[in-house]
Amino acid sequence: MATKDIHRTQEEPINHGGAIDAAAQRYGIPANEWLDLSTGINPVAYPVSPIDDVYWQRLPLATELEQLKVAAKTYYDVPSVTQLVCAPGTQALIQNIPFWFRDQTDDHAIADVHITGPTYGEHERCWTRAGHHCHVHETAPKRRYTQLQDILSTSKPGSVIVLVNPNNPDGGLLAPDDVANLAQLALSRGCWLLIDEAFMDCRPDHSVCSRIDQMPNTIILRSVGKFFGLAGVRLGFAVMASELAGDLGRRIGPWAVPGPTIAVGTQALQDTHWQQETRARLTSDGLRLDHLIARHSKLEPAGGTDLFRYYDGTDCVRVADHLAQQGILIRLFDHDQNKARFGFPGTASQWDRLEKAMAGIVT
């Protein structure tokens, strides 16, 4: 049988946070000795109860997936479970949606995709991989809403606008009424709006999931891994019009979310007491980190959320190297060497470790 040559494209890896293994190799410090502050993941994870063996031994049941959707419907304030798509992490949705989007048109059309940034690099990577034409618009948070209005006002039908809200890494946050206005403008122009709300859990009042009935051309992404500190369970959701959700769900396929993940996710989404306590703690931790950084460096606050902080200064690279030599990893950025992102320590000893390391910086 004849064989076809498979076309392979070479892609440079994106510089994400959490690369402890690479840092360990570079600095000669074993991976298990690092304090990883390079991500925006809650360091105090939701306490996972023992998981019954049955969840490991059989395929997930449809009724269990439905229970997860019911929990997500309440947590995200979505009008109907039919407007939810479950996936093994938001990243899986980011990778699938650009290809699924082409299948929504008879001619598998290529779209112009406008991404406001700097932001999470996988959005551009995945839309480009699917053959779409990507345009990244780097904008200060205060200008983002106006710029999106300008982009939508001149975009041709079928275009896609990607908004990360709150934005990663600068934390820029658009008000829900502004986002709703953008969704209506997109609808009137025959365009699509993709809103990545992966870091929205600390500001549920700013989510537009509850308004999805009025936004038929909008897709909203939500992540369980960040706020709940459960990145390893791989669980995310898309919120969208019911007909589209059903189609995307079939694209994702059956049993995409493992049984243990369904059990953990359902419990975490229903635990309102833990959620309220966690929001209060993270707000306090963010202020604590701001004060610590201000005492021991010349870095200035440049944004962030209640899951990470974003700082500006010509010392960013030097501070990052100083901390790395002591086994503490923070996030630097390819787009701007004068920016750094810090996650939060999770224990008293980790806070002390960061305080001592920062105190040793010669300013």
Q: Is the pLDDT of residue 13 over 70?
A: no
| Average pLDDT of the residues in 164-192 | 97
In this structure, CATH architecture of domain 59-270: 3-Layer(aba) Sandwich (3.40)
Domain boundaries, given as residue ranges, for the chain = 20-45+273-358, 59-270
Cα 363 from Cα 351, distance rounded (Å): 21
Looking at residue 5, its pLDDT comes to 38
Taking only the tens place, the pLDDT of each residue in 114-126 is 999 999 999 999 9
Please report which residue ranges of the chain form alpha helices under DSSP H: 20-27, 54-57, 62-76, 90-103, 122-129, 144-154, 176-189, 242-252, 259-270, 272-296, 316-324, 348-359
| Average pLDDT of the residues in 36-53 | 97
Q: Which pTM does this prediction carry?
A: 0.94
Looking at residue 14, its pLDDT comes to 66
Taking only the tens place, the pLDDT of each residue in 274-284 is 999 999 999 99
Asked if residues 331 and 38 have their Cβ atoms less than 8 Å apart, the reply is yes
Q: By C-alpha distance, which of 221, 202, 225 is closest to 309?
A: 202
Q: By C-alpha distance, which of 88, 66, 68 is closest to 76?
A: 68
Taking only the tens place, the pLDDT of each residue in 207-229 is 999 999 999 999 999 999 999 99
Structure tokens at 120: 């999470």
Looking at residue 10, its pLDDT comes to 56
DSSP letter string, 146-180: HHHHHHHHHPPTT-EEEEESS-TTT-----HHHHH
Q: Is the pLDDT of residue 12 over 90?
A: no
Q: Taking every pair of C-alpha atoms in the chain, what is the biggest distance, in angstroms?
A: 70
Sequence letter at residue 134:
C
Cα 72 from Cα 74, distance rounded (Å): 5
| Average pLDDT of the residues in 301-318 | 97
Average pLDDT, the chain: 94
Q: Is the pLDDT of residue 2 over 80?
A: no
Looking at residue 109, its pLDDT comes to 85
Cα 362 from Cα 255, distance rounded (Å): 54
Looking at residue 8, its pLDDT comes to 42
Looking at residue 4, its pLDDT comes to 37
Taking only the tens place, the pLDDT of each residue in 56-115 is 999 999 999 999 999 999 999 999 999 999 999 999 999 999 999 999 877 778 999 999
Greater confidence (143 vs 5) lies with 143
Taking only the tens place, the pLDDT of each residue in 317-338 is 999 999 999 999 999 998 899 9
Taking only the tens place, the pLDDT of each residue in 144-174 is 999 999 999 999 999 999 999 999 999 999 9
Other Cβ atoms less than 10 A from the Cβ of 215: the count is 23
Looking at residue 345, its pLDDT comes to 98
**Domain 20-45+273-358 class, CATH top level:** alpha beta
Looking at residue 256, its pLDDT comes to 97
Structure tokens at 323: 């901390």
Looking at residue 1, its pLDDT comes to 37
Where does residue 48 rank: exposed (0-12), middle (13-18), buried (19+ CB within 10 A)? Answer: middle
